[in-house]
Amino acid sequence: MADGNITKDVMYDAVAPDDFESMLELDRYNARSTAFDKIISATHDHFWDPLDPKYIDFSEPWDMETQALLPDDQVMALGVPYVLDHLEKTGQKVKFINEMVLWNFSSILHGEQGALNLSASLCHVLKDQGAQEYAANQTREEARHVTAFAKYVKARWGRPRPCGATLQQLLVDIIGAPEVYKKIIGM
């Protein structure tokens, strides 16, 4: 079904966050789509635990003062000769690289937190039970991502950097959007 430029699919039918009564409609319980069944089933095949060192060992030692977390060719700023020369002359190249990695990982951590909140915000507004289950599974997955990135950042640097203003505004906008399609596009 199309409404102007927006295509609507019944599996994305939603209610207002304060309209729980609509979730109790009897016909809703027999109207579960199968659109997400394969994805939901696949999530049961591989659950990983960021707290289990078999998956990620956060205690693995790393000398942040002398070991760069990335090779030079993966740090775009080092492609500028002035920057590279200055950092090498002052002995700050490793620190610079590791600070850039911290900034990037902090942004990823904030993005994962946004994905967690966004997925959770879909759970109580999607009318289709398959869509709700998918959103709940995605919420669980995003929670694991937040845990893993937070533990990694803590192990290497102690704490993340603040969320950048642009990323923060984007996350606030998509999580707070009342339109489900904006949330789904945001994901």
Distance of CA 121 to the CA centre of its chain: 14
The DSSP output letter for 163 is P
pLDDT digits (tens, 9 = 90+) for 18-58: 888 888 888 877 777 888 778 777 776 677 888 888 888 88
Single out the residue of 133, 135, 107, 110 nearest to residue 121, CA to CA.
135
The three-state secondary structure class of 71 is coil
The three-state secondary structure class of 126 is strand
Instruction: Name the pTM for this structure.
Output: 0.83
Which pair of structure tokens corresponds to residue 40? 């939901």
pLDDT digits (tens, 9 = 90+) for 59-89: 888 899 999 999 999 999 999 999 999 999 9
pLDDT on residue 143: 94
- Which range, 8-17, 44-53, 142-151, 172-181, has the best average confidence (pLDDT)? 142-151
The share of the chain scoring above pLDDT 70, in percent, equals: 92
Single out the residue of 145, 139, 123 nearest to residue 48, CA to CA.
145
Give φ, ψ of 14 to 5 degrees. -135, 165
Comparing 174 with 12, which gets the higher pLDDT?
Answer: 174
